[in-house]
Amino acid sequence: MPIFIETFLYELRQRFLLRWVLANVVGWTVGLYAGVLNPVCFAGTGIIAGLVLGAAQWWALRGSPLLALNADGQPSRRWITLTFAGAATGLIPAAVLGGMLFLFTNGVAALLAGAVLGGAVGLGQWAALQGISSRAVLWLGVNILGGAVCGLLTIIPIIRGLPLGLLAGAALFGYATGRVLEMMRREGENGDIR
């Protein structure tokens, strides 16, 4: 195996933020792009995005004290289920706002749709994090803001057919939410967990 791949895999195992950003890029891009590419699948975009995002984020959280502290004994199932529920619920109002693309400026509609979808996913996951950290409310804010920025970046037509705006938005979303999770994890390591 080439040395740069070995180095990348080593860093991926060692650095939570790198895993988290990668998980969000894969989760949001695969989940949302699959729905956009296939009109039959569009109604299920929230379902696809929620499942793929939840599974990818769970992969990044494996071994993390945040995931291990979920009280129900099924942390992976709970994280994936809450992410799925948030995305599936948030897609309906986000799609309605996205439909406003044709009525108003597409930037405002994309910003609002992203904020709603990000907020819905964050609200679902907040249910798992609220008993773990006293700062879990920040999770809601960063998901709303990150979703808004991600939504806005998805409409940037960098190269037709390639979701480069979505990739950039998902990376920024992953970085912002990852920093909040790191802060919550440090809080737990210091014994400040609720």
Three-state DSSP class for 162? strand
List the domain boundaries for the chain.
Answer: 17-189
* pLDDT per residue as tens digits for the range 36-78: 655 555 556 667 778 889 999 988 988 766 655 444 545 567 8
Model confidence at 19: pLDDT above 80: yes
**Band of the pLDDT at 174, cuts 50, 70, 90?**
very high
Phi/psi for 159 (5° steps) reads: -135, 120
| From 34-38, 93-97, 163-167, 173-177, the region with the lowest mean pLDDT | 34-38
Average pLDDT, the chain: 79
Percent of the chain past pLDDT 90, that is, above it, reads 22
Please give the residue that has the higher pLDDT: either 20 or 65: 20
Residue 176 pLDDT more than 80? yes
Torsion angle (degrees, nearest 10) of CA 24, 26, 30, 36: 50
Could you please report the per-residue DSSP string of 7-76?
HHHHHHHH-HHHHHHHHHHHHHHHHHHHHHH-TTTGGGHHHHHHHHHHHHHHHHHTT-HHHHT-TTS-HH
Owner of token pair 């044709």: 102
Location of structure tokens 């950290």:
133
